[in-house]
Amino acid sequence: MFKPSKNPKVEELQKSCTDRSVPVADLTWIIREDGSKGCIWCGDPLKTKHHAQRYCKDKMCPKSAYAWSYPQKEEAMNFLMIRQDWCCNICKHDWKPFIESDIVGQFYGTMNVDYKTEINYYVIKRLKQNIDPKLKPEVDHIVPIYKGGQSLGLDNHQIICYLCHKRKTAVDLSGKRKK
């Protein structure tokens, strides 16, 4: 599952950045108290001395960093879908039956794919491509950016279907903007 960052530079970016995305890989290593380099995301010591390695061997660190910095992409959508139990946060439309019948059965065949807990980029990609456009999952800011919501990270994001997103955006745009 998603692993929050322990890097103070990442936390500062979340407080001050108003951009839609930030290349987390551009951050420098965390220099640990013993002088060794640590993972950009979690701060754990790096196992190898390879000069280009920035993340620890844990596969969730690069995925978590990418999801945090690009919340509209498939990796972040997958984290959010797992968090919301594969349902729209507003109308509670359930995407699980569609995934189990059309995606897992058709594209993965007899492979044992645990899409409910395991991050799988292609399940989200296929879901977005093959579902009815009105029910297509979209990432939405819970508190809009222009009203002071955060643009980075997954705390201010939710997955809702296209119709709910359209209605929520109309309501959000009717309010006053934060100066």
pLDDT tens for 37-84 read 788 888 888 776 666 778 887 678 888 888 888 888 888 898 899 899
pLDDT beyond 70 at 107:
no
Instruction: Give me the mean pLDDT over the 18-27 stretch.
Output: 60
Residue type (1 letter), 70? Y
Report the alpha-carbon distance of residue 84 to residue 61 in Å, rounded.
21
Report the alpha-carbon distance of residue 155 to residue 158 in Å, rounded.
8
Per the confidence metrics, is the pTM higher than 0.85?
A: no
Mean pLDDT lowest for which of 73-82, 113-122, 146-155?
113-122
108 CB-side CA count, 13 A: 16
pLDDT beyond 70 at 104:
no
Contact 47, 32 (CB under 8 A): no
Give the closest residue to 42 by CA, choosing from 89, 10, 15, 14: 10
Tens of pLDDT along 89-102? 999 999 988 887 77
pLDDT beyond 80 at 2:
no
Q: What is the pLDDT of residue 167?
A: 94
Q: What is the pLDDT of residue 115?
A: 64
Q: What is the pLDDT of residue 51?
A: 66
